[in-house]
Structure 1
Amino acid sequence: MDTIIFQNESLPVQVELENVALRKMHSEILHLHDNVEIIVINSGTVICSAGEDNFELRAGDVCLINHKQMHRICANGEARCAYKVLNVGVSLLMQNPLIYQKYLKPMIEDNSFSHISFDGNSGAAAKIAELITDIEELLHTLPSGYELRLIALLHLLFHEIYLTYVNEPKKPPMENNAFIQQKMIEYIYNHFNEEIILDDIAHAGNVSRSQCAKIFKKYAHLSPMNFLNKHRLEISLHLLRSTTNSVSEIAQSCGFFDQSYFNRLFLREYGCTPLAYRKSGWNTPSIS
């Protein structure tokens, strides 16, 4: 189960602790977001997918996932794993125009740069993990002037990442279809609570229905409508945990206008009904 240590809408930084062993009945779907995500593996191993790469991360390893890049983290078999996630909003990194234009923009706006990983035995991984621990402690205690120290720690953090990035071999630019996929997924994120048909998703990418399906199969490994339903289900998990809204209200707010259909999909995906999930205290099934 994920534990949010810090989240503030006015300050686009979020720290989470997650236990992947609790996901053994459910793997998160490939997804993207506007934040830069930095992961520190505390224990165990995970399989990470980012861009077109799949790789293993072990205890001590660190990985940065660039913003607007398709990615997911899955448990490695039955192995238990715990990791820490630092999400940093790009808007926060843009506050100093000189620093952003000279160092950060060339890195995070490089569409061929999906991720970078640091071996747990390297000095860079140790420094990044230590800085994230400092950020975690700062956001837990919130001392006077913590925002100023947060900006300083983030600059130190991205300095370590930048030094590795500039020495990495460059990859070919992202395919045009990957940009189209981003547009279609962003449409789903913005309209999941509405009635959506395949034509709507294809129109968002300015492609045909068949091309839409091919692009989703290549990049998300799901059909467009399956991706939509899985995203809606993951939103429903959050609402079942964080609100007292009825199952019917949650189904409607997630774009499921037939509650029985919502119940069937939920049962098939997670092995229990929405009501049983809420009563279970969220221990079964696992969550993303």
Structure 2
Amino acid sequence: MISPDALKSAAAIISSAKGSSPPISATISTISSQAHLQMISHWHDELEFIYILDGKMDFHIEEKILTASRGDFLAIHASAMHRSAPHNGEDCRFIRALIHPSLLTENQSVRNRLLSPLLGNTSRRCFLVPSASPDAPRLGALLQEINRTNEKHLPGFELESIGLLHILLARLYALFPPEKQTQEEMPGTDISAQRRMVAYISHHYPEKISLAGIAAAGSVSRSKCCQLFKKYMQQSPIDFLNRYRLEISRNLLDSTENSILEIANACGFSSQSYYTKMFSEKFNCTPTQYRSRLF
């Protein structure tokens, strides 16, 4: 029997569960070492800042797809549904920071006049500053300094990180003032329905799930459900469900000693043989072979 805590931890890794991150988290990573983060669309309460150090990375931000290259700076809106993957399978080294909005100024005048238009504008889900802009390396340097400050962990480092964050946001505001932001269609019932359906899958993946059940969670028809998954996830609802289950199972293979059968059952697969078939098709090895590579 797999413990509830193990399942919760496995799901949190790919879902960026609310409350799972510290107020300021900054790391330098290579995306090939984070395979479990490449596949599942997710959203979280934190603002996400990314600066590409080497290589290229593809971002799927709701229905938009963009490629960020070395020297590009990207800011992703809190609550925007997104996922990332290496461009053409190439390794990509980047610095990434998650910042909870609660750390931003409590001065209501400043917050309402400057921050809310920039970060509360739900029609703009991301801000890309290309490497050709002189501002991109400046923003990247600020992000790297936040990372260094957090790593040093000197007394009062949180205050220094928050100060650097406000400088970063001020520069973003100068680049993307509200009057210059494009007037895109405000996300409404479609994205809300999509989030409810993804949340339903994340909560019920161990159970038997049908297309009708997924659609009902979003209060849409089955055909509309398929259209929304195609639009926002670039795959069918059932493909997303299977991908989600496989990623949970892979995290359990990494973090537990439970049997393959127990993991298959815990992730909602009807049988061990079906699970092994699906896993092999996705990862080019069986669950047993995958686990043996870890040791």
Distance of 1:255 and 1:100 partners within structure 2: 45
Q: Aligned to 2:284, which of 246, 263, 271?
A: 271
Q: Find out whether 1:65 has 2:58 as its counterpart.
A: no
The one-letter code sitting in structure 1 at the alignment partner of 2:214 is I
Cross-structure match for 1:285:
none
Q: CA deviation at 1:113?
A: 0.9
- 2 CA distance for matches of 1:254 and 1:93? 39
TM-aligned CA deviation for residue 226 of structure 1 = 1.3
State the Cα distance separating 1:60 from its structure 2 match: 0.7
Separation in 2, partners of 1:10, 1:261: 34
| Mapping of residues 20-35 of structure 1, within 5 Å | 20-21=31-32, 28-35=39-46
Which has the larger helix fraction?
2
What residue number does 1:41 align with?
52
**2:165 is the counterpart of 1:160:** no
Within a 5 Å distance, the mapping from 1:194-273 to structure 2 comes to: 194-256=207-269, 258-273=271-286
Amino acid aligned to 2:115: L
What runs of 5+ residues in structure 2 fail to find an aligned partner?
Answer: 1-12, 14-18
Tell me, yes or no, if the aligned pair for 2:47 and 2:76 is still in contact at 8 Å: yes
More divergent stretch after superposition (231-240 vs 87-96): 87-96
1: CA distance between counterparts of 2:286 and 2:252?
Answer: 14
Task: Name the CA distance, whole Å, in 1 between partners of 2:197 and 2:290.
Answer: 30
Per-residue deviation at 1:215? 1.4
Q: 1:191 aligns with which of 198, 204, 219?
A: 204
Give percent identity, aligned residues only: 33
Q: For the structure 1 residues 198 and 140, does the alpha-carbon distance in structure 2 shift closer, same or farther, using more than 3 Å as the test?
A: same
Letter in 1 for 2:223: S
CA distance in 1, matches of 2:152, 2:266: 35
Deviation sequence 1:177-207 (CA, Å, 0-9, x none)? 2222122122223333444322322122111
Question: Which residue of the partner structure matches residue 53 of structure 1?
Answer: 64
* 1:89-238 matches, cutoff 5 A: 89-93=100-104, 97-166=108-177, 167-238=180-251
Question: Counterpart of 1:5?
Answer: none
Cα separation, partners in 2 of 1:21 and 1:199, compared to 1, 3 Å = same
SS of the equivalent of 1:196 reads coil
Give distance in 2, aligned partners of 1:21 and 1:263: 23
Report if the CA contact (8 A) 1:23-1:75 is conserved: no
Q: What is the Cα-based RMSD across aligned positions, in Å?
A: 3.0
How far off its partner does 1:230 sit?
Answer: 1.0
* Matched position secondary structure for 1:15: strand
- Contact 1:38/1:86 (CA < 8 Å) preserved in 2? yes
Secondary structure of the equivalent of 2:128?
Answer: strand
For the structure 1 residues 226 and 172, does the alpha-carbon distance in structure 2 shift closer, same or farther, using more than 3 Å as the test? same
Stretches of structure 1 lacking an aligned partner (at least 5 in a row): 3-7, 283-288
Q: Structure 2 length normalisation: TM-score?
A: 0.80
Q: Secondary structure at the match of 2:209?
A: coil
Distance 1:23 1:144, change over 3 A: closer
Question: 1:133, CA displacement in angstroms?
Answer: 0.9
* Counterpart contact for 2:63–2:231, Cα < 8 Å: no
Secondary structure of residue in 2 paired with 1:46: strand
- State the alpha-carbon separation in 1 of the partners of residues 102 and 277 from structure 2: 40
> TM-score under structure 1 normalisation?
0.82
Moved over 6 A (4+): none
Structure 1 Cα separation of the partners of residues 24 and 258 of structure 2: 28
Is residue 61–residue 83 contact of structure 2 (8 Å, CA) maintained in 1? yes
- CA contact 1:42–1:82 (8 Å) conserved in 2: yes
Matched, 1:19 2:30: yes
Q: Is the contact between residue 50 and residue 95 of structure 2 (CA under 8 Å) also seen in structure 1?
A: yes
Letter in 2 for 1:262: Y
**1: CA distance, partners of 2:21 / 2:30:** 27
Query: Shift in Å at residue 91 of structure 1?
Result: 4.0
Check conservation: 2:62, 2:233, Cα contact below 8 A: no
The alpha-carbon deviation at position 78 of structure 1 amounts to 4.6
* Equivalent residues of 2:260, 2:288 under 8 A apart: yes
Give, as a single letter, the amino acid of the residue that structure 2 aligns with 1:263: T
